[in-house]
Amino acid sequence: MTPYEEAFQGKRVLVTGGLGFIGSNLSARLVELGAKVTIVDNMMPRLGGNLFNVKEIMDHIQINFSDVRDEHSMDYLVKDQDFIFHLAGQVNHVDSIRNPIQDLDINCRGTLVLLESCRKYNREVKVIFSGTRGEYGASVKLPVAEDHPTNPKGIYAVTNLSAEKMVLVYDDVHKISGTCLRITNTYGPRHQMAHDEYGVLNWFIRKAIDDELIPVFGDGHILRDFLYVDDLVDCFLQVAAYQAAFGEVFNLGTGIPISFIDLAKKIVEVAGSGKVAFTEFTKERKEVEPGDYYTDISKVRKVVGWTPKTDLNEGLKKTIEFYRKYRKEYWG
């Protein structure tokens, strides 16, 4: 094991939103490293919580079906934890337009409840917060570094930015170690595949596996960078293991841009099925579309030494193989 991996042996770790995409992949890796993992998840419909995600580690984890907004649950769950990976949140961009009050309640109030429980019962814990590249809004310059202006276009991104600020305030004022990650589009196994309202790359993969048209919005030339989930998990662990990372904000991504049309073509090529088609933006998507984005990861590389290892072709191949094997568990 590397030094950062050894840092989790025998440690008590709470993963909020742990039955979802990133949380379940992270939990599986933590179990592998010998951590004592507790997952809390409210299993809200359509947000990706899936018990099949943790089927292989079910005998090695504790699951609490609760909500980060529940003060009594959080007061109990944060006690004696060494690390808290805070991933629970409302992550559906379209739902954030339909029901912005819910976004505010889950993403902001939920984070504040969790932090208050830490202040009351566990000030020694380390909190790692999962945010979004959407906090930047439209890119003023590319690639986007951490000092880029934050002008989010949607309530989902606004509430994530607010939650991030809460984590940093509790780090500064209450000395509860917190670090915040602004994550680019992430893909891979254990993602929700039932609808197209978040996780665009995974939705493209579903359409390809079903040998259907992959709907590319607009002219397809908008740029993004796409991060494979195993690389993201590695970064979570490295950041959590280094004290110098706390009190900081880090961009996570590959820094390698690709257009949506080229992405769709690559998926068809790797999958050997599917077809590419252009479509108009829906009203809801157009309102929150920030345009081109790819990230500058020089800060996280310098501070903790993390660099993504999985290229897009390899990541797509692994993801497609996973869903072809477990399709019935995800095609809701």
Q: CA triplet 176, 42, 173: central angle to 5 degrees?
A: 15
**Alpha-carbon gap, residue 55 to 59, rounded angstroms:** 8
DSSP alpha helices (H): ranges in 242-279? Answer: 260-271
Which H or E element spans position 186?
strand 185-187
HSE-CB at 181 with a 13 A cutoff on CA atoms is 28
Tell whether the torsion through CA atoms of 181, 292, 98 and 190 is positive or negative. Answer: negative
Concatenated DSSP letters for 2-54?
A: -HHHHTTTT-EEEEETTTSHHHHHHHHHHHHTT-EEEEE----TTS---GGGG
CATH 3.40.50.720 fits 3-191+227-253+294-310, yes or no: yes
% the chain with pLDDT above 90:
89
* pLDDT value for 84: 99
Structure tokens at 259: 């257009």
Under 8 Å between Cβ of 192 and 47: yes
pLDDT for 123 equals: 98
Q: Where are the domains of the chain?
A: 3-191+227-253+294-310
Task: Identify the pLDDT of residue 285.
Answer: 67
Mean pLDDT estimate for the chain: 96
Is 63:41 a contact under the CB 8 Å cutoff? yes
Residue 248, pLDDT score = 98
Residue-wise pLDDT tens digits, 177-201: 999 999 999 999 999 999 988 899 9
Q: b/e per residue, 154-192, with b = 16+ CB within 10 A?
A: bbbbbbbbbbbebbbebbeeeebbbbbbbbbbbbbbbbb
pLDDT single digits (tens) 77-113? 999 999 999 999 998 878 888 899 999 999 999 999 9
Rounded Cα gap, residues 116 and 22, in angstroms: 24
Count of Cβ atoms closer than 10 Å to residue 6 Cβ: 12
Residue 197 vs residues 97, 242, 259: alpha-carbon distances, Å: 11, 35, 19
**Which residue is listed with tokens 């904000």?**
249
With beta carbons less than 8 A apart as the criterion, state whether 79 and 144 touch: no
Residue 180 parent element (H or E): strand 178-183
Torsional sign, CA 26, 303, 318, 192: positive
Average pLDDT of span 231-253: 98
Confidence of residue 242 (pLDDT cuts 50, 70, 90): very high
Strand partners, 40: 16, 64
Structure tokens given for 284 = 């809801």
